[in-house]
Amino acid sequence: MTRGQRLSAWLLLAALAAPLALAGEIPRDQRRSGADFMAPETRAMQADDTANPAMLWVLEGDALWREPAGAAGQSCADCHGDTAESMRGVAARHPAFDEASGRPIDLQGRINQCRAERQSAEPFPPEDDRLLALTAYVARQSLGLPADPPDDPRLVPFQENGRHLFERRIGQLNLSCADCHDDHWGGRLGGAPIPQAHPTGYPLYRLEWQTLGSLQRRLRNCMTGVRAETPSFGAPDFVDLELYLMRRAEGLPLEAPGVRP
Amino acid sequence: MLAAMLILPTLPAFGQESARRGVVPYEVEGDGIVRPLTGAPGDPNRGAALAADRQKSLCVLCHPGPFPDQHLHGTLAPDLAGVGKRLTEAQIRLRVVDNKRLNPETIMPAFHRVTDDPTVAAAWRGRPILGAGEVEDIVAWLSTLKE
């Protein structure tokens, strides 16, 4: 091999290796729901309303929606009426910009905000079954609609912070979300397939939890896994991360309440 | 005090880290660490058990290899089968201790390193993933994997 040929061979190798080393964001046409990575029986459980355990929370949410709460004695239904109309697409557009706080708010944050301000009731604590039930019930009204994060320029800095948090290496294991979910999705971690980390099924029933949980709970699980500090529930960083995840999943159909292993 | 000042500059770059709890000093030569981290030699049997431990060493989460429970292997990192033939003991030792010295982008954690990273959970802060003796056990086992 001449020197020129050797150089060409190296350049070819470098060109071949580059896409692997710099995998980066997932191309739009390769985006896949986490459900695609599940065993057929788990997919069937999610698809069948009579088998999906999360539907119990949707039913409870339906009841809570009509129940007056707080000092105002108002129910959600008193203002919002029929959810099939008023709540259709709402989950697909959250997190959204909240005028009051001047930053993004996620769906369960919005429900708690409405509860405090309109119903004059105590906000639900994080992961409270009633909050999960109302969130699941509202999210269910967007079933099948594409994730449609708002094109609001005021959201951009928060979304960029979310991206930074997604790409930043953290914890004793020094791994970022992107290391696994952008660069190694489809691979196996301890035997379990790594999905692309799309937030389109939340809140969802995780078999490992044996209950319904929020996206923030799931994010905390991953952070604990890499031995990192976890922000508290409702922390602004979590909402920014949720916002980035929603942008990253733009166009994928919502499937809440989902089921995951 | 004077002695310490005289000695300090002669320590290799890892001197500051070595002062931390649980991390011993070592010397990188080329792409390896020739001298073992401990006086006592590593035990390959202990290393085999440790390497298969999903909570402690975590090796099996990413690497396929000659582990029990084949279906619980990761597929994110090179197969450990034959690593003892592909790499020298010194090369294996550096890759276990701190592979980021060779490739800062690698997803492989540095197993015997401590940093000031404030994102590390309080329970793990100031501690390496593996102690020096554990590193040597794993290096001893990996070095036996000749095929």
Reduce the secondary structure of chain A to three states and give it as a string. CCHHHHHHHHHHHHHHHHHHHCCCCCCHHHCCCHHHHCCHHHHHHHHCCCCCCCHHHHHHHHHHHCCCECCCCECHHHHHCCHHHHCCCCHHHCCEEECCCCEEECHHHHHHHHHHHCCCCCCCCCCCHHHHHHHHHHHHCCCCCECCCCCCHHHHHHHHHHHHHHHCCECCCCECHHHHHCCCCCCEECCEECCCCCCCCCCEEECCCCEEECHHHHHHHHHHHCCECCCCCCCHHHHHHHHHHHHHCCCCECCCCCEEC
Q: Is residue B10 part of a domain?
A: no
Q: B26 with B110: CB under 8 angstroms?
A: no
Cα A257 from chain centre:
11
Among A165, A174, A184, A232, most B C-beta atoms within 10 A, so best to mutate, is: A174
User: Considering CB atoms only, which of B62, B122, B124 is closest to A189?
Assistant: B62
pLDDT at A23: 60
Q: Which of A139, A85, A83 is nearest to A110 (CA)?
A: A139
> Across residues A159-182, what is the average pLDDT?
98
Each residue's pLDDT tens digit, A40-72: 999 999 999 999 999 999 999 999 999 999 999
Element (H, E) at B143: helix B132-143
Domain extent for A102: 34-260
C-alpha–C-alpha distance, residues A250 and A252, integer Å? 6
> What total of structural domains would you count in chain B?
1
Q: How confident is the model at residue A11 (pLDDT cuts 50, 70, 90)?
A: very low
In a domain, B100, yes or no: yes
Which residues from B are below 8 Å from A when comparing CB atoms? Answer: 54, 58, 60-62, 69, 71-76, 100, 105, 107, 109-110, 115, 117-124, 127, 129
Which tokens go with B105? 């982008």
Share of residues in chain B with pLDDT > 70 (%): 86
pLDDT in tens, B43-64: 999 999 999 999 999 999 999 9
Residue A24 pLDDT: 81
CATH number at residue A77: 1.10.760.10
Residue A6 resides in a domain: no
What pLDDT is attached to residue B69? 84
Residue A8 in this model has a pLDDT that exceeds 70: no
Identify whether B37 is part of a domain.
Answer: yes
Could you tell me if residue B3 is inside a domain? no
A255 closest CA partner among A64, A58, A122, A108: A58
* Mean of all residue pLDDT scores within chain B: 88
Domain extent, residue B133, equals: 17-143
Rg (C-alpha) for chain B, rounded Å, is 16
Contact criterion met (CB < 8 Å) for A191 and B74: yes
Q: Give the best-scoring range by mean pLDDT among A17-31, A83-97, B3-17, B64-78.
A: A83-97
Q: Do B120 and A229 touch (CB under 8 A)?
A: yes
Task: Let me know if A222 is a catalytic residue.
Answer: yes
Q: Is pLDDT of A138 > 50?
A: yes
Tally of domains in chain A: 1
Is it the case that residue A19 has pLDDT exceeding 90? no
Task: Judge whether residue B7 has pLDDT over 60.
Answer: no
pLDDT at B18 over 80: no
B119: nearest CB among A170, A187, A189 = A170
Domain containing B125 — which CATH number? Answer: 1.10.760.10
Please check whether residue A28 lies inside any domain of the structure: no
Report the half-sphere exposure of B67 (CA within 13 A, side-chain side): 26
Over range B103-117, report the average pLDDT. Answer: 97
Q: Tell me the ipTM for this assembly.
A: 0.87
Taking the CA of residue B8 and the nearest CA in chain A, the distance in Å comes to 28
